[in-house]
Amino acid sequence: MKIVVLDGYTENPGDISWAPLEELGDLTVYDRTAYEESPLIAERIGNAEIAVTNKTPISRETIDRCPNLKGIAVLATGYNVVDYDYAGEKRIPVMNVPVYGTDNVSQYAIALLLEACSRVGYHDMSVHNGDWAGNIDWCYWHYPLIEVSGKTAGIIGLGRIGVNTAKVLNAMNVNVIAYSRSHTEAGEAVAKYVELDELLAKSDFIFLHCPLFPETQGMINKDSIAKMKDGVIIINNSRGPLVVEQDLSDALESGKVAAAALDVVSTEPIRPDNVLLKAKNCILTPHISWATREARERIMNTTAENIRSVMEGKPVHVVNA
């Protein structure tokens, strides 16, 4: 079986092995292929039976130009880069990696919160720049330092990652409330379910852990921000388009939102003219919540499982069945 990986670099920049996929057939790995629709995508897939992608799109046109395709494996949980409905019409299973980074993403969400409250990274850079050595006092801080304990955190989306984040917040003596489409026993054990407006009104910290659907796109906007506490902190390491970035920038400028800590933005890589690059008190990191070595090894192994399942005629983790 011929397998082509279209954009393998972010999954494996050289610190893990492609062996789990190499064992399954003739493997070709491209570090990068265009993130926009391009004839090059179909050219690189060629006559392969399996196409593996992370963020390179696989469109209807590409599928039509690759008649040997028997499966499409996505090196991620999200699969909107593939025209999965059309692939389904062509009886081509599209498979994702549904669980690989629950601990990582919740760990990073807490790290973003602590950075917004304690500014460890900023003050480390300040010391290395000589600010402490040249200071007349024995200590200093350039941002207000915020105590997390005793505050209320609102989590929008209480799935696996949201529950895990809530567990950590509970251990930090943070009261956790949540708004979610479905209620679970696991969620009820770590948070109190409330309506969205109540969450917006009561939360000192708001975490976005929900998927991107038409109904959630742009849910953090000037209207929802107006319902929030003055001085709220917003954490997003879920999906960038959940936030209307101009509205968030305006709220940061006015002080309505005290800080935002974001690992995702609306268009990635971030565009040089993104308003958040110049927004006050906005912490930005390059979509790396998922990227520990341990998590990427789990992605590799699950992707190998997905491909093997196609070879055996019983595809698993299929999103377009």
Angle 94-97-98 from CA coordinates, rounded to 5°: 105
Q: Which helix (H) or strand (E) holds 95?
A: strand 94-95
All residues at 6 or more sequence positions from 19 whose CB lies less than 8 Å from its CB, including other chains: none
Q: To the nearest 10°, the Cα dihedral for 284, 290, 291, 294? A: 150
Q: Is the peptide bond before 211 cis (omega within 30 degrees of 0)?
A: no
239 is catalytic: yes
Which of 195, 268, 271, 294 does the annotation list as catalytic? Answer: 268
308 is catalytic: no
Which of 287, 296, 308, 317 does the annotation list as catalytic? Answer: 287
Angle 142-146-148 from CA coordinates, rounded to 5°: 150
CA atoms within 13 A on the CB side of 216: 17
Q: How far apart are CA 207 and CA 100, in angstroms?
A: 20
294 is catalytic: no
DSSP 210-250: ----TTTTT-BSHHHHHTSPTTEEEEE-S-GGGB-HHHHHH
Which of 44, 209, 239, 296 does the annotation list as catalytic? Answer: 239
**Catalytic (active-site) positions:** 239, 268, 287
